[in-house]
Amino acid sequence: MRKLLTAVAFTLITGFVFGQHTVTMRNGATLQGYVMEMQGGVLKLDADGGVQSLKVSDISMVNFGSGDATSSGGQLPEKMVVSADGNYKIRYRMKDREIVKAPRMALGTQDKGIVVVNITIDKYGSVRSAKSGADGTNTDNDYLLTKARQFAEEIKFDKVPTAPLETRGTVTFTF
């Protein structure tokens, strides 16, 4: 009986300690919880006191470990650089990478807004894809969305030959 109780306690403890999962959505949002099941293209996640059904096609990554060492509940720390012309601050989140060449940001408008761009870079630091309008964007101005995407494509990150083939992150432009 004592062995059975010990086994049950161990299972419960390891489930709580190691069972925390982080789901990263394609739009950059992250959810913390416990993956309950995945069936028929839907992942069920017990998070925030309820079960959420998430389409697998909307998920970028699931971390089944105990989490990573990033701050803010699994979200990468935000870094900042100044544009090449010195007129704008560029905030970004990119795991283990640094911007080595910021874009020159000639805007040509007085429009204001914040645009968040989801980007994917390769191990050589080149931006391979950029999509503006991610969570945190506060404008639907097509001109600002287009310019933010173009500026993001001009960014060059440090070269890390041992990095994954692709690394995803965000760049935030405040116009």
Residue 62 tokens, joined: 């699931």
Determine the Cα–Cα distance for residues 21 and 63; give it in Å rounded to an integer. Answer: 6
33 and 88 part of one domain: no
Please enumerate in sequence order all residues whose Cβ is within 8 A of that of 163, keeping only pairs 6 or more positions apart, or say none. 96, 97, 123
Mean pLDDT calculated for residue range 107-130: 95
96 and 155 part of one domain: yes
103 and 32 part of one domain: no
Q: Please, what is the average pLDDT of the chain?
A: 82
Which residues are registered as beta bridge partners of 122? 166
Q: Which of 30-34, 57-61, 98-102 has the highest mean pLDDT?
A: 98-102
Quote the pLDDT of residue 65: 57
Confidence of residue 39 (pLDDT cuts 50, 70, 90): confident
- Given a cut of 70, whether residue 163 has pLDDT beyond it is yes
Q: Is residue 121 part of a domain?
A: yes
Residue range(s) defining the domain that contains residue 19: 2-63
Helix/strand/coil (H, E, C) string of 123-152? CCCEEEEEEECCCCCCCCCHHHHHHHHHHH
Mean pLDDT calculated for residue range 137-143: 96
Q: Is residue 17 part of a domain?
A: yes
Encode pLDDT of 24-38 as tens digits.
888 877 777 777 788
142 and 167 part of one domain: yes
131 and 47 part of one domain: no
24 and 58 part of one domain: yes
pTM of the shown model: 0.59
